[in-house]
Amino acid sequence: MKRIKDLPEFNRPREKLRERGEQALSDVELIAVILGSGNKGQDVMSLSAKVARLLAKHKGNISLKMLTGMEGIGLAKAAQILASFELARRYIITESVRVSQASEVVPLLKDIAEKQQEYFVCISLNGANEVMEKRVVTVGLLNKTQVHPREVFADAITDRAASVILSHNHPSGELKPSDSDLKIHKQLSDAGKILGIGVLDHIIVSKKGYYSFQEHGLIY
C-alpha cells in the first residue's frame, strides 16, 4: 500500500474526490478521507486498509470497541468513522424506505440483530408509512422502567410521526416474546393511543430471524 506522499497529487484521495467525485474512490480511499491522517507509526492509507478489512469481515456492523481495539485507531478516529456511518444511515433510510410489512423493516434492524446487549429501537413513520427516523431508545436489560413511554415517544412527537414501529433484539437468539416483552408492548401501545401515534408493529430480532407482533395478532 503506497503512502499518500508517494502518490501523484491527482491520485490522492481528497484531490481524486474533487476532480472525479466520491463515487470514483475505493473503500480504502473513502476511509482515508474520513480519517484525514495517519499517526506516528502508520500512514493513513495503511490504517485505512486495516479498517476496510474490518468492515468487510463484519459486513459494516462494527462498534467503537472493535475500532479502538485496532492499533492506531483511538477514540477520535473511531468516532469519525462511526459518526459518518450513522449520518449516512439516517439520511439513506429517510429518503428511500417505505414499509408495509415486517419483512421490509427487518433489513433496517440488521445492526442490532447480533448485539450482545438488548437494544430497544423506535422507528418513526409518516402518514405514507415512510421511515422518518430510526433511533436507539435504550441499551441493556429491558424492563418497563427503562422502556418508558416518555423516552420512546418523545422524538416521535418531535418528528410529528403518524405511527411508529418498535423493535428490540434478543441476544439469546430466542424469538418468542417474554412476559416482560408483552407487558412493555401493551404499555407502549396504550400510550401511543393516547398520543394519537399508532404502534404498527413490534419486531423482535436475533441472529435466527425475526418475530412480528403484527403477524402473530398481538397488535392492539
Percent of the chain scored above 70 by pLDDT? Answer: 90
pLDDT above 70 for 178: yes
Highest CATH level, class, for 98-212:
alpha beta
Query: 85: which 3 cell numbers?
Result: 456511518
Domain boundaries, given as residue ranges, for the chain: 4-94, 98-212
Query: 9 CB contacts (<8 Å, ≥6 apart)?
Result: 15
Whether the model pTM is above 0.75: no
CA–CA separation, 57 and 83 (whole Å): 20
3-class state of residue 167 by DSSP = strand
Q: Given this model, what pLDDT does residue 58 score?
A: 83
pLDDT band at 97 (very low <50, low <70, confident <90, very high): confident
pLDDT in tens, 111-169: 899 888 899 999 999 999 988 888 888 887 665 557 889 989 999 999 899 999 999 99
